[in-house]
Amino acid sequence: MTDLHGRSVVVTGGARGIGAAVAHTLAKSGAGVVVADLLEREGRDTAAAIGTQAMFCHLDVTDESEWRRVLDDAEANFGPLAVLVNNAGILDFGGVESESPSQFRHVLDVNLVGSWLGMHLAAPRLRAAGDGVIVNVSSTAGLIGYSGIAGYVASKWGLRGLTKAAALELGAAGIRVCSVHPGPIRTPMTAAMDPSVAAGQPLARFGEPEEVAAMVGFVVTEATFSTGSEFVLDGGATAGASLVLPS
């Protein structure tokens, strides 16, 4: 899918950070982009910065009726749906013992169930259009475990698995489904993190939202033989242990 002209794209969590960068990148491919988020002021600012081929829509990803409205608005304003980017997510600190049941469920509701709702409702529209791409923004926390963020890790592993199940189900309809797995990226969500988090990576820095957006753009427009695949941007963090061998 190299030409998105006359088609619509929905980016959840599109108001800022990775989502905003993705919205800007996919707009360059000719699509009409819906910036979908709870953050109204920032979302409208992002859409305005893209221009007339973008619009903001309020979206609580856990609300099925809001999902239906957003998808309806996307197609009414910009044409048949081409791409869904499930980027909206939350991070709640808490381990297996310390995280409350309500906190754990809330993280899964937003990060996993919210993404499933979007896929569930977008898939028939993509079938009707004849093709499409779904990109689920997971995390390195969907590839390895981390201590102290049990709900987040569970949600991102779940999203990785959901991606593969959907790829198997939807491939015959010409719909590709892939996951993107960023490591630490410089966004409002990670602003309070100590920079030393990235010190042990081969590329010892935080990534930038535009680097993730470039990968999403590649998955959508260039990786046309990839589905059910995982695309990792983590500065080498998950490549393995760094050992200094004696010379």
In this structure, how many other beta carbons lie within 10 angstroms of the beta carbon of residue 191? 8
DSSP annotation string for 62-105: T-HHHHHHHHHHHHHHH-SEEEEEE-------B-TTTS-HHHHH
Q: What is the DSSP letter of 185?
A: B
On whether the CB atoms of residues 19 and 50 are closer than 8 A, the answer is no
Per the residue annotation, which of 152, 157, 206, 231 is the catalytic one? 152
Q: Is 146 a catalytic residue?
A: no
| CA 7 and chain centroid, separation | 19
On whether the CB atoms of residues 86 and 137 are closer than 8 A, the answer is yes
Q: Catalytic residue numbers?
A: 152
